[in-house]
Amino acid sequence: MLDESAMKTIIIIYLIFIGMLANAQSKPGLYLTMDLDMELCDHKMKLMNTESLFCLSGEPAVEVNLFDRVEELVYDSVAQMRGFSIILTAKGKDFISTLARKLPGHDLGLVVNGMLVSIIELEGVNYPGKIVIWDQYDSQAMEWLHGSLVRSVTRYNKKS
């Protein structure tokens, strides 16, 4: 019988595989959430590790080229959470600030490797040039997310 850690690893690998098959053409980046009836939505995605379903824009509103770098994964012992920051370029910071002002009812969905991994609220947020991602439940999923984002940003930065 498998222990809990082995089961989590198998589930993560399965979710990654299924997500990649279902959304093979999804570019990494931040997608606008759309307030549509799910039956009318062309780009539905389930938030990783939840049952929450979101309707997303067909293309990223904020592509990886507006991410300057991904900072190291850290552990906050007080909050007992792991997290990291995505540092935005100056253009990325300005663009997200504009989105927040002009589309106050929308959020951004972070898609990585064809999976919706986080929802970032735009309303009422003053972006200081970075997006912080925290997780208190599954450190293996957080390591996967962090590594995938680092590779995506590094790959893009090498091209430019």
Closest CA to 29 of 140, 121, 142, 111: 111
**81-110 pLDDT, tens digit each:** 889 999 999 999 988 888 888 887 789 999
Q: How far apart are CA 33 and CA 11, in angstroms?
A: 26
| pLDDT of the chain, 160 residues: tens digit per residue | 556 655 555 555 544 444 444 443 478 899 999 888 888 898 999 998 889 999 999 999 999 999 999 999 998 888 888 899 999 999 999 888 888 888 877 899 999 988 999 898 887 566 668 888 888 766 788 888 999 999 988 887 776 5
Q: Which two tokens stand for residue 151?
A: 């590779």
How many independent structural domains does the chain possess?
A: 1
Range(s) of the domain holding residue 80: 4-159
Given this model, what pLDDT does residue 137 score? 66
Sign of CA pseudo-dihedral 62, 64, 68, 74: positive
CATH at 143: 3.30.1360
pTM of the model: 0.76
Closest CA to 111 of 77, 62, 76, 42: 62
